[in-house]
Amino acid sequence: MTPIDEGRWPNRPYAWYVVVMLMLAYSFSIVDRTGLGLLVQPIEADLHISDSQMGLLQGAAFALFYTLFGLPLGFMADRTGRRSLIAAGVAFWSAATIACGFARSFPTLFLARVGVGAGEATLSPAGTSMIADYFPPQARSRAYGVYVIGTSIGSGMAFLLGGAAIALAGHLRQDYPDWLGTLAVWKIVFFLIGAPGLVIAAIFLATVREPARRGLSSVGEKISLKPLFARLSSEKLVYSSLILGAVANFTAIYAMLGWFPSFLIRTHGWSPAEVGGVLGTYGVPCGVFSCLSGGWLIGWLQKRGHKDAPLIVAIGGSVWFSIAGVCASLAPSGNLAVVCYCLLSLATNYCAVSALTGLNLITPNQLRGQVVAIFTMSTGLIALSLGPFAIGFLSDTFFPQGGGIGPSLAIVFAATGAIGAGVLANARRSFRRVAGEVS
């Protein structure tokens, strides 16, 4: 157990180094999570599976153990060394990503994706808890903003590295025909995108120190859900609204990551390499801007007395993201679709930064890992399962002749934006009351 310490905060440059390491780990988690996006066409052709099955591989397969392992790993994050837990998780999900390359059927690829989800369930509960112990409350929103940059860098890397890996895999098959000549290109891609995570895990374990815990009370040894349920029950509206608002936003994000590349390929005739290069090149800086500006906006509003600053930023981000997403999905040309994609990327991470800042602001230290685990489980069980599958289901069911990915994406963007903004707006008064009680 890490001791409770209310003394001086850790050295700020080193604290930022830890955040950068967590951000890198998060980036590679997104790469391994969403790497299927550019590989939809060859995997469906090679394994003879449908859009709906591909939606399950991108969502439910990953979310299954990502959800089931979330709360137990949240307990571990609140009671054991978070550094070692994160390093083990990074190594595990990276190995599982490599295992995807050995899959020969839908069931075996499904099982490998389950392993990716099980490993990634370690990161957010332990990582966000560490950040809260490295930074004072007034600096946390910026730290969480940098951490969440991992989603933008990761999605960009998934596109850029995915496109590059597709090209590299073709060359490797030619250069090493005895070893790789019989492997499909998409299998080699999984080997290439999974390997770097093993290096990140080793560096993290060797260079990151466990911070002393800070909070209102000591962490007890007894494992019980009663304190968690008591806290959630006492402020049902605030916690449920923050989590559900984020779930709605994440549903659209996962739908976009899973199917927007296929939308450009099928509807507008782009090649996978073109899609990877363009989305990665332009999407990453826009997503990074959303992380940094989201954290800065929350801090700016807090300094001006807005106790519900995380909710204000989350509501604005949800509305912007939804409108731009609908425009991107219905754009008559690929170039215009990419312009709208860049516009929606400017607000992609507002809700994530706001949710993590808000949840850690209103939650005692001894429950932070568990609460973020509930958040992670919710986004996994609902958003990650529903987002990719909804697009595949809508496409197969209502647009069986093809061309249905764009309209399906538009439906998901519009519905999730309205739901997310609505539930978050309904909780503003309650959040203002609760905010400031826990530092």
What pLDDT score does 254 carry? 86
Lowest pLDDT segment from 137-146, 210-219, 232-241: 210-219
Question: Per residue in 14-59, pLDDT tens?
Answer: 999 999 999 999 888 888 877 777 777 788 888 888 888 887 887 7
Closest to 128 in 3D by CA, of 311, 334, 375: 375
3: pLDDT strictly greater than 50: no
What pLDDT score does 214 carry? 76
Question: Per residue in 260-299, pLDDT tens?
Answer: 988 998 899 988 778 878 887 887 788 888 878 888 899 8
339: pLDDT strictly greater than 80: yes
As given in the structure block, the two tokens for residue 189 are: 């891609």
**Could you tell me how many residues make up the chain?**
439
What pLDDT score does 335 carry? 94
What pLDDT score does 361 carry? 84
CA dist 31 and 193 (Å) reads: 7
Residue range 410-435: average pLDDT?
A: 92
- List the CATH number of the domain containing 302: 1.20.1250.20
Structural domain range at position 275 = 12-209+226-434
What pLDDT score does 169 carry? 66
What b/e readout covers 100-134, taking b as 16+ CB neighbours within 10 angstroms?
bbebeebeebbbbbbbbbbbbbbbbbbbbbbbbbb
Average pLDDT value for the chain: 84
174: pLDDT strictly greater than 90: no
74: pLDDT strictly greater than 70: yes
Q: At 181, is the pLDDT very low, low, confident or very high (cuts 50, 70, 90)?
A: low
Backbone dihedral angles phi then psi of residue 4, each to the nearest 5 degrees: -80, 135
As given in the structure block, the two tokens for residue 231 are: 């806290």
The kind and range of the H/E element at 317 are helix 309-329
Residue 303 lies in a domain: yes
Closest to 212 in 3D by CA, of 83, 87, 120: 83
What pLDDT score does 220 carry? 47
CA distances from 199 to 100, 191, 202, 312 (A): 19, 14, 5, 39
Lowest pLDDT segment from 80-84, 251-255, 313-317, 374-378: 374-378
pTM: 0.70
What pLDDT score does 233 carry? 85
The residue behind tokens 């990503």 is 97
Q: At 342, is the pLDDT very low, low, confident or very high (cuts 50, 70, 90)?
A: very high
Q: At 373, is the pLDDT very low, low, confident or very high (cuts 50, 70, 90)?
A: confident
Q: At 197, is the pLDDT very low, low, confident or very high (cuts 50, 70, 90)?
A: very high
What pLDDT score does 165 carry? 67
Residue 221 lies in a domain: no
Residue 92 lies in a domain: yes
Residue range 399-413: average pLDDT?
A: 88
Residue 220 lies in a domain: no
CB 276 within 8 A of CB 166: yes
CA dist 98 and 361 (Å) reads: 37
Residue 66 lies in a domain: yes
CA dist 194 and 125 (Å) reads: 22
Residue 6 lies in a domain: no
Lowest pLDDT segment from 41-45, 100-104, 183-187: 183-187
More confident residue, 152 or 14: 14
Q: What angle do CA 364, 126, 93 make, to 5 degrees?
A: 155
Local structure of 199: helix, strand or coil: helix
Residue 215 lies in a domain: no
Residue 370 lies in a domain: yes
How many domains are there within the chain?
1
End-to-end Cα separation, the chain, in angstroms: 21
